[in-house]
Amino acid sequence: MENTIKERYVSPAIANMLKNIGFEVQCAKKYNSNNCIHDNVKINNEFLTNSQLFPNECSAPTQQITIDWIRINYGITISIVPTMIDQCTDVCYEALIWVNKTFDQHETSFVGEYKESVDSAIEYVIKNLI
């Protein structure tokens, strides 16, 4: 069986939003000033965080690291579920956002391919709930 699974990184725009709200998690990748993804630098066996990078660089976390960071730090859970809707010829994915403190479903309007649904949900949370 061929393994074609690849890590899904947030977009450069989302990475910059995360930097602006204090994301300081060690990440193996970073975005440079041209929004190109590169290996991050290690010092004393630890990856540099946003505050240690050059001002025009930012950490490039995976989508899952970002989802976990938002849940742990802000009590907001992002869940991605398959859905069938008329505009999709195949299975689409819907992002559900829950604010843990009230257990209320907050938003369900992000439908599309998996990576795009996750990015849309993360961007919505950063812009509207954090």
Q: Per-residue pLDDT tens for 40-74?
A: 999 999 999 999 999 999 999 999 999 999 999 99
Q: Are residues 66 and 130 in the same domain?
A: yes
Q: Are residues 78 and 37 in the same domain?
A: no
Q: Are residues 129 and 75 in the same domain?
A: yes
Residues of the chain with pLDDT below 70 are: 1-2, 85-89, 100-111
Q: Are residues 75 and 128 in the same domain?
A: yes
Residue 2 within any structural domain of the chain: no
Q: Are residues 32 and 67 in the same domain?
A: no
Domain, as residue range, for 22: 8-61
Q: Are residues 53 and 90 in the same domain?
A: no
Q: Are residues 30 and 56 in the same domain?
A: yes
| Beta-carbon contacts of residue 60 (< 8 Å; ≥ 6 apart) | 9, 10, 12, 15, 27, 29, 30, 31, 37, 40
**Domains contained in the chain, number:** 2
Q: Are residues 84 and 54 in the same domain?
A: no
Q: Are residues 52 and 73 in the same domain?
A: no
Q: Are residues 37 and 98 in the same domain?
A: no
pTM assigned to the model: 0.86
